[in-house]
Each structure stands twice: as structure tokens, then as C-alpha cells.
Amino acid sequence: MTAALGKDLIGLERLSPDQIRLILDTAEPFKEVSERVIKKVPALRGKTIVNLFFESSTRTRISFEFAEKRLSADTVNVAATGSAVQKGETLVDTAKNLEAMRIDMVVIRHASSGAAQFLGDRIRSNVVNAGDGKHEHPTQALLDLLTIRDKLGRIEGVKVCLVGDILHSRVARSNIWGLTKLGAQVAVCGPHSLMPRGIADLGVTVLRRVEEAIEWADVLNVLRLQLERMEAGFIPSLREYYRVFGVTVERLAKAPRALTVMHPGPMNRGVEIDSRVADGPHSVILDQVTNGVAVRMAVLYLLAGGRPELADAAKGPAAGGTD
Amino acid sequence: MAAPLLLKGGRVVDPSRDLDEAADVLIQDGRIAAVGPGLGAPDGATVRDVRGTVVAPGLVDVHVHLREPGNEDEETIATGARAAVAGGFTAVCAMPNTDPVTDNQAAVGFIVRQSLRAGFARVYPIGAISVGQRGQQLAEFGEMVGAGAVAVSDDGQPVASSHLMRTALEYARTFDIPVADHCEEPSLSAGGVMHEGLVATKLGLKGIPAAAEEIMVARDILLAELTGGRLHLCHLSTRGSVELMRRAKERGLRVTAEVTPHHLSLTEAACERYDTHAKMNPPLREAADVAALRQALQEGVIDCVASDHAPHAYDEKEAAFDDAPFGIVGLETAFGVAYTELVQGGALTLPQLILRMSTVPARVFGLPGGTLQPGAPADVVALDVTAGWCVDAARFHSKSRNTPFAGRSLTGRAALTLVAGEIVHDAPAAAQA
């Protein structure tokens, strides 16, 4: 039974506003689990989940792993390094071999856009996209949405500006889908050499200068600038990037209203964001990390067929709970 | 010597003579003997009833990849030639990006010999512009032409150096062959896997901007003007290229161009859900480009249709979009797609389509064929343009199945194909087999 979300979570582009709200609402009761002394509920007891990471990741992989373990699932981590992948095994063969071992879910991170879709179309297990190339990173956007809702009490009507390398960012794409579906106003801001074609057609405003973004927004979601973008010639230098697009205390001081600053991590302090901002009162960056575990618990629970109205009950007591 | 063959009762469309009438076609000694209404059968002649079909000069495809030598698991000259006649093509021109590259007379001679052994369609080799298609040193055009090459091209590898392209256009004049040009500015297209536009933005795939093609179209038109060489632009895909081409023709330059059935019928939207069968180079573009290409073909700004038949093994396309190779097969769907989309779609008449798929491509590459003029080689196709059919890739004669048209309902296919008067494809007979 996977009716609530479908078989897989590939991206927010294909979710309805109600499905997105359902995930956020389901995450609420799971937040509390992580605050317990014994951080474990039996909701996914007996389920086997493989974390298939073809691209290095610390934060996302650990967050998924905590989410799985706190739901009592059995988990296996497969990293591309040292696995059969390096011996030339194809993505589909890797997946089919895992499935032959009777797993229930795969969480996949891959450098190629479309890899999660590819896998989901070919195996029976549920597939959760933990970031595919430049396409989507749906659980990141969901935790961003939850954090905005926590902080501002709503998403509809909130003005959110994504700042930085939009061209190469799966976080930006997922955020644009999720935010626009829930009625937020969305803008993007960054160098035009890092702005994808046709982005305005997705219903977002393109802002040229970070000062304009700060004047306009309620929330800034500051994206990581990959260092290799400079080497590829998209921008002249990290120093200039900070000078022109860096989110600094001085710039934030000119904000006409209270501004919330987010960052999906990992941060390049002093490149896209000033340390004093990252650690300052505007920042909800660590709340995002905390919410990540709850949102991922909700996604795994719903994909496994968990009934949303029972999420609270599903938490149950850790020991001796029924499922 | 084979018995004379009388094709009786068809609608004869021969654009080379502006002919479109109910007529019979008599074939003798491998050549067209007569075309006219109510022809009598000579003694010993076989009479073939072709009522309900359109009898036309065999289709000519100036752009195919037959993968031999080097990738015989994907296609061979024999399977490619078989697929060609199944699609109504009696002559195809094989691109030189084989392994090793067809860049010398021995390699050209190999293709000629393999095609003679295979039979079915006539296969004309295209030699490389540069040794190894590496874009540095001119290949030996003269010796390759002596061995049977009909054109030169570095297709698949854009000629980055303007100097090399200039020299190729100049040097090819000696042999009066066209330089077939894959227009792509490599520094702009590097890493791109589909059209740069909204769909690529949504999918998070790196785009190839229209300008990557248009810059080279513009450059090479200027070089054609500079050199007086014969330039043939391969697989145009953008409305900007059409405009450049239009101006080149208005100035009377010796520039011709082709367009593929897929660029005339599909857009970037076909890449949605990461369908690797919609990954080709140049990429599928936007609806406005499709409209401009159709109009250009109708007006003759683009001269001909070519399939860019590019077979790939199943495993290669069964991959993430970034990792899959460019290209689709086309020989067995080209006429059906073109007829359904262009003729039924109202962009071209049937005689105009045959003009663009037979008469003109033969003329552009200086090949025999493209005509039913008495005395011409009896390369003939009888086209069934009434019955619909569904594309079933598993039934292709090609070794490869990589088509975005699988499952599509099309109208228009070859019922009977003759090369030099011999029946090389007979659809009803094949169906019984």
C-alpha cells in the first residue's frame, strides 16, 4: 500500500500540494522522537533499506540513516567507492542484485540527473531520491519547507529567495517546485552565468543583485557555491563572488524586515555566506538539520505504506510496541 | 539476365520529371525501360500488380551510420542495407565515423566490397575530412574518391578549426564532391546532452544551445562563399540555422542542407522522464524550430530529408541520460514518420516529399537514381500510403532498436523495393514468411 505518495519519491515536481502538506504534517509527530532518551519507534520494524550513495555525502546520508534507525528499519550503506560500481557494474545491475536480496527501499544519491527515476522505473522496491545530479533533492526541499513553516507559521505568501548557483543546483529546483506549489512567492538571485535557461517560466522572479533579494525577501536560502564552478569559468573568483553575492552582516543590516537565513550545507564560510550570518540570529541552519531527520522519517513511513493519521500512534513506545 | 518486370496499375510519382499519374513501369535489364499508362507486358515478363501503391524512384538517404567496421554488434553494412530497403531506400551514404575511421582508400574500398557482397541497397561511402577525424590533417580525398567515396565529412566530430574547414572546401573542389558538415561549436556544446531550454532546466541536464549549431552554420556558409566549395549542412535543427540557410540560398551559394524526420516531428519534450531514445545530436529543439524546419523543407531552403540512422546497442541506451550515447535508428521509420507528420500533417504534398527524399538527395550527392526516366537504373519503391502500421522495434531489420517512435501509429511504408530491377524487399511476402 503506497497510495499516499506513490511508489517512489523522485522529486517535488510530480507531487501535489496536498501530498507535500501530508509529508510536512506527518513529520510533525516524528520530530518528538528525536527528543526522547530512547530515540526509536517500531514503525518500520522488519523493513530493509539500502542507502545507495554513488556520490559522497555526509549530512544527507547520516540524516537518512538516523531516520531509518529511529523507525527501527534495518539499513545497509553502499558507497560507490570500493563497491562493484567501480568494477563497471551498471546502475541497473546493482539495483537488481540488491533487490534479489529482498530489500524494501532504496535511498539513492547519484551524480547523474534522472538516476533515481531510472532506478524507480526498473525495480519493485520504493525509491527515495537523495539527490540526482542537477535535477532534484526532494527531502532537502521538504525540510526547508518545514523549517520555514516552523519559523514563520506559514508558507503561503512568504517571499523566499534562493541565492547562488541556480544552474547546477538540485536544491534550487526542488525548492522552486515545493514553494510554488504551497503558494510562496519565489525569487532566484545569482550571477547570470549560473542561471538556467527559462527559469522564469517556472514561476519565479529573477533578481540581479543580492541587495535586491535582501530588500524583497522574508527568507534567503543561500546555496553552496561549488568551488569547481570557478575553475570551469562560470565566475572569475571566489573573492569577487563574496564581494558581489556574499550574504553578509552589513548587507543584512539593510533588510527592511526580519529576515530568516537558510543554507542546505555544507557551507563555504566567507564565500556565499558570512560566518557571522551563519552563526547569527537570522540563521535557522541547524534547525534545518534537525528537521531533516523528521522529514525523512515521514517520507520513509509514508512510502512504506504507513497511514498518515496513524503516524502519532505509530511512534508508540520503543520497546514492546506493536506494529 | 532476369525477366522483364512490369509494375502494373500504380500511381507513378516521379518528381524528376514532374510526373504524377496512373501509369505502369516496365523494367528491363536492371533499368527503367518505359513509363506510361496501359503498357503491354513483353514476352516472358513478370507482371506485378501494384494497384493502390505509389510507384516512385527509390528513396535516397545521404546520412546513415552503418557501424562497420568496429561496432558490428550494433549494425553491419549488410543489416543496414537490409533495413534501408525495408524502409524504401535504394541508396544510402555511410558516414565515416567507424572504428577505425574511414579516412583512406583501403577503408573506403572495404565498405564498397562489403556492400556489394551484402546486396540490398546501394551503399556509398563518405570519407573523413581529417585523418582519424581528429581535425588536424586532411585525409586523402582524391584516393578515397577513386575508391568510391561520394563526399567527405567528419560527422560526429565538428571541424573546430576554421582553417581546416576552409582547406577541405577548397580541396574538395578538385573532385567536385560535397563537404558534409556536422555544425557544432564544441566549446559551447561541451558536456551538453539535450537542447538548452526549459525542459533541460527542469530535468537538470546540461543543455546545448541553438547557437552552438548556428555559429558553425554561419561560419561555414562564409567559408563556402570564400572558397566556392560545395557545402552540405547535416541535420539542421534550429530556426536560426534555417534563416542563415535562407540567406545563403538567396545569395546563390553552393550550399545545401538536410533535416531528419525526428527534428521535423519531435521536440525537447520527448526527453521528459529521461528517455534516452530522445537523446541525439543535434538535440530535439522547440516547437518553433520544428515549424521553421517544416516550412524550410517545403520551400526548398532545406533540400532533403536524411535519417541520420545511428544504431546503438540496447545496453548503451539503458543508462542514465548523461551516460547514454547520442543517436537513434531511422531507416525503417523515416518514410512513415515523414509521410504521417508532413504529408498527412499538410506541410508537404506526396510528390514534394518524394522530391525531398529521393530526387534531390541523389542530385546533391551526385548519385544515380532519384528518377524513373527511361534508361535510369531501376531503383524503385512502391509505397503503401493507405494502411496504418504500428512501429514495432523488435521487427526491425536493423540490429538496433533505439527509436523514440516505438509504439507509434504511422501511415506510409515500402510495399516493394527494387534495386537495379531486382526485388530486394517485398512486404507482403515478408509478412507471410
Check whether residue A108 and residue A197 sit in a common domain.
no
Check whether residue B51 and residue B66 sit in a common domain.
no
Phi, psi of B262 (to 5 degrees): -75, -35
Check whether residue A160 and residue A229 sit in a common domain.
yes
Question: What is d(CA A154, CA A150) in angstroms, rounded to the nearest whole number?
Answer: 8
**All 3 cell numbers of residue A241?**
563572488
- Check A113 against B197: CB less than 8 A apart: no
Q: Which domain range does residue B428 map to?
A: 5-55+377-432
Task: Give me the pLDDT at residue A86, please.
Answer: 55
Please state whether the peptide bond connecting residue A17 to the residue before it is cis, i.e. omega within 30 degrees of 0: no
Task: Give me the pLDDT at residue A317, please.
Answer: 54
For A252, other C-beta atoms within 10 Å of its C-beta total 18
Query: Which CATH number covers residue A108?
Result: 3.40.50.1370
Question: What is d(CA B102, CA A152) in angstroms, rounded to the nearest whole number?
Answer: 66
User: Chain A partners of B207 at a C-beta cutoff of 8 Å?
Assistant: 197
Check whether residue B273 and residue B256 sit in a common domain.
yes
pLDDT level of residue A98 (50, 70, 90 thresholds): confident
Interface check A85 vs B, CB under 8 A: no
Q: Look at strands B59-64 and B89-94 and give their pairing.
A: parallel
Q: Has residue A208 been placed in a domain? A: yes
**Which pTM value belongs to this model?**
0.93
Closest alpha carbon within chain A to B320: A115
Check whether residue A146 and residue A271 sit in a common domain.
yes
Check whether residue B102 and residue B205 sit in a common domain.
yes
Check whether residue B280 and residue B319 sit in a common domain.
yes
Check whether residue A220 and residue A310 sit in a common domain.
no
Task: Evaluate if residue A1 carries a pLDDT over 80.
Answer: no
Task: Give me the pLDDT at residue A316, please.
Answer: 60
Closest alpha carbon within chain B to A197: B197
Check whether residue B66 and residue B51 sit in a common domain.
no
- Report ipTM for this prediction: 0.90
In 3D, which of B263, B388, B418, B411 has the Cα closest to residue B335? B411
Instruction: Please report, as a single letter, which amino acid is at residue B328.
Output: I
Q: Has residue B369 been placed in a domain? A: no
In 3D, which of B225, B268, B201 has the Cα closest to residue B404? B268
Q: What are B289's strand-pairing partners?
A: none
Q: Has residue B338 been placed in a domain? A: yes
- Check A112 against B321: CB less than 8 A apart: yes
Check whether residue A170 and residue A101 sit in a common domain.
no
In 3D, which of B214, B238, B217, B329 has the Cα closest to residue B290? B238
User: Chain B partners of A110 at a C-beta cutoff of 8 Å?
Assistant: 320
Instruction: Please report, as a single letter, which amino acid is at residue A40.
Output: K
- Check B205 against A110: CB less than 8 A apart: no
Q: State the total domains in chain B.
A: 2
Q: Has residue A98 been placed in a domain? A: yes
Q: Has residue A164 been placed in a domain? A: yes
Check whether residue A44 and residue A69 sit in a common domain.
yes
Q: Has residue A3 been placed in a domain? A: no
Question: What is d(CA B361, CA B371) in angstroms, rounded to the nearest whole number?
Answer: 11
Picking from A16-25, A95-104, A164-173, B122-131, which range would have the lowest pLDDT averaged per residue?
Answer: A95-104
Instruction: Write the pLDDT tens digit of every residue in B54-66.
Output: 999 999 999 999 9
Question: Does A109 participate in catalysis according to the annotation?
Answer: yes
Q: Has residue A107 been placed in a domain? A: yes
Query: Which CATH number covers residue B179?
Result: 3.20.20.140
Task: Please say which residue of B337, B364, B391 terminates a domain.
Answer: B364
Q: Has residue A132 been placed in a domain? A: yes
Q: Has residue B347 been placed in a domain? A: yes
Check whether residue B253 and residue B346 sit in a common domain.
yes
Instruction: Write the pLDDT tens digit of every residue in A168-192.
Output: 999 999 999 999 999 999 999 999 9
For A69, other C-beta atoms within 10 Å of its C-beta total 17
Instruction: Write the pLDDT tens digit of every residue in B244-296.
Output: 999 999 999 999 999 999 999 999 999 999 999 999 999 999 999 999 999 99
Question: What is d(CA B332, CA B397) in angstroms, rounded to the nearest whole number?
Answer: 8
Residues B343, B349 contacting (CB under 8 angstroms): yes
User: Chain A partners of B196 at a C-beta cutoff of 8 Å?
Assistant: 197
User: Chain B partners of A199 at a C-beta cutoff of 8 Å?
Assistant: 201
Picking from A25-29, A94-98, A177-181, B96-100, which range would have the lowest pLDDT averaged per residue?
Answer: A94-98
Q: Has residue A11 been placed in a domain? A: no
Q: Choose, from A110, A137, A229, A296, the residue flagged as catalytic.
A: A137
Q: Look at strands A105-110 and B304-305 and give their pairing.
A: unpaired
User: The cell 506527518 sits on which residue?
Assistant: A26
Task: Give me the pLDDT at residue B431, please.
Answer: 47
Q: Choose, from A48, A60, A147, A248, the residue flagged as catalytic.
A: A60
**Containing H/E element for B387?**
strand B380-390
Phi, psi of B147 (to 5 degrees): -90, -5
For B418, other C-beta atoms within 10 Å of its C-beta total 26
Q: Has residue B371 been placed in a domain? A: no
Percentage with pLDDT > 70 across chain A:
93
Check whether residue B262 and residue B285 sit in a common domain.
yes
Question: Does A60 participate in catalysis according to the annotation?
Answer: yes
Q: Has residue B370 been placed in a domain? A: no
Angle, helices B105-118/B77-86, rounded to nearest 10 degrees: 50
Query: Which CATH number covers residue B409?
Result: 2.30.40.10
Q: Which domain range does residue A215 map to?
A: 138-286
For A153, other C-beta atoms within 10 Å of its C-beta total 8
Check whether residue B172 and residue B308 sit in a common domain.
yes
Residues whose CB falls within 8 Å of the CB of residue B280, separated by 6 or more in sequence, listed in order: B262, B308, B310, B326, B327, B328
Per-residue pLDDT of chain B (433 residues; tens, 9 = 90+): 579 999 999 999 999 999 999 999 999 999 999 999 999 999 999 999 999 999 999 999 999 999 999 999 999 999 999 999 999 999 999 999 999 999 999 999 999 999 999 999 999 999 999 999 999 999 999 999 999 999 999 998 999 999 999 999 999 999 999 999 999 999 999 999 999 999 999 999 999 999 999 999 999 999 999 999 999 999 999 999 999 999 999 999 999 999 999 999 999 999 999 999 999 999 999 999 999 999 999 999 999 999 999 999 998 999 899 999 999 999 999 999 999 999 999 999 999 999 999 999 999 999 999 999 999 999 999 999 998 999 999 999 999 999 999 999 999 999 999 999 999 999 864 444 3
Nearest to A113 among B205, B315, B319 (CB): B205
Task: Please say which residue of B332, B364, B396 terminates a domain.
Answer: B364
Q: Has residue B372 been placed in a domain? A: no
Residues B285, B268 contacting (CB under 8 angstroms): yes
User: The cell 550527392 sits on which residue?
Assistant: B365
The distance in angstroms from the start CA to the end CA of chain A is 15
DSSP structure string for A171-225: HHHHHHHHHHHTT-EEEEES-GGGS-TTGGGGT-EEESSHHHHHHH-SEEEEPP-
Task: Evaluate if residue A82 carries a pLDDT over 80.
Answer: no
- Check A114 against B321: CB less than 8 A apart: yes
Check whether residue B291 and residue B319 sit in a common domain.
yes
pLDDT level of residue A92 (50, 70, 90 thresholds): confident
Residues whose CB falls within 8 Å of the CB of residue B303, separated by 6 or more in sequence, listed in order: B256, B257, B258, B356, B360, B361, B364
- Check A113 against B202: CB less than 8 A apart: no
User: Chain B partners of A132 at a C-beta cutoff of 8 Å?
Assistant: 204
Check whether residue B315 and residue B390 sit in a common domain.
no
Question: What is d(CA B144, CA B125) in angstroms, rounded to the nearest whole number?
Answer: 9
Nearest to B273 among A117, A170, A196 (CB): A117
Task: Please say which residue of B309, B334, B364 terminates a domain.
Answer: B364
Check whether residue B215 and residue B360 sit in a common domain.
yes
Q: State the total domains in chain A.
A: 2
DSSP structure string for B260-320: -TTTTT--GGGGGGG-GGG--SSPP--HHHHHHHHHHHHHTSS-EE---B----HHHHSS-
